[in-house]
Amino acid sequence: MENQELESGTNQHSVKWGLILGLISIIITLLVYLIDITLLAQSVVGIIIFVVYLAALIYAGRDYRSKLGGYMSFGKAFTHAFVVLVIAGFVGTVFNYLLFNFIDPDIVPILVEAQMGNAMKTMEALGGAGNTEMMDGMADGIKESYTLKGQAMGFLWSLIIYAIGALIVGAINKKKNKEEEF
């Protein structure tokens, strides 16, 4: 019975923090949208979002650990972090799909152009230049990433990143009870 209550608490806490982190993701996306939509194509924004996610995820894990009495196994810490990330990622993906396809579909060409510009700058910095056929193919691939299929595939690939992030956060948030080891 106690184990079942503990699992229910894990699920509730993970869902709560997944929804909070998903809402944070939506707010960040909306702020960037209102300031300058092309910022979404900048890696700096991705890094900022990553840092915010990491900090919130560590905080959520520590909050959960305190609710468990101050101790948490690596397995519980990993599972908690992974579920939070999956829920937050799903919420963010659904919002992005709605934004790119229904709320303001006119931003997709702007984002494609911005991403293509970033790719061309990177290729030039590395001493290369893409041919027209390659660049057209890249543009088509970027456009595809904003469709339902593209967003779904992006979310599925993100599960790998979420697992790696959850491993890291799980290692940070775990804490053994030294009294129980003897």
Q: What are the tens digits of pLDDT across the range 50-103?
A: 899 999 999 999 999 999 999 999 999 999 999 999 999 999 999 999 999 999
Radius of gyration of the chain (CA): 20
Q: What phi and psi values does residue 53 have, to the nearest 5 degrees?
A: -60, -45
How many whole angstroms separate alpha carbon 116 and alpha carbon 107?
Answer: 14
Closest CA to 28 of 86, 83, 88: 88
Q: What is the pLDDT of residue 40?
A: 87
Spatial separation of the C-alpha atoms in residues 162 and 166, rounded to whole Å: 6
Residue 60 CB coordination number (10 Å): 23
Work out the pLDDT band at 6, boundaries 50, 70, 90.
low
pTM: predicted TM-score of the whole model, two decimal places: 0.88
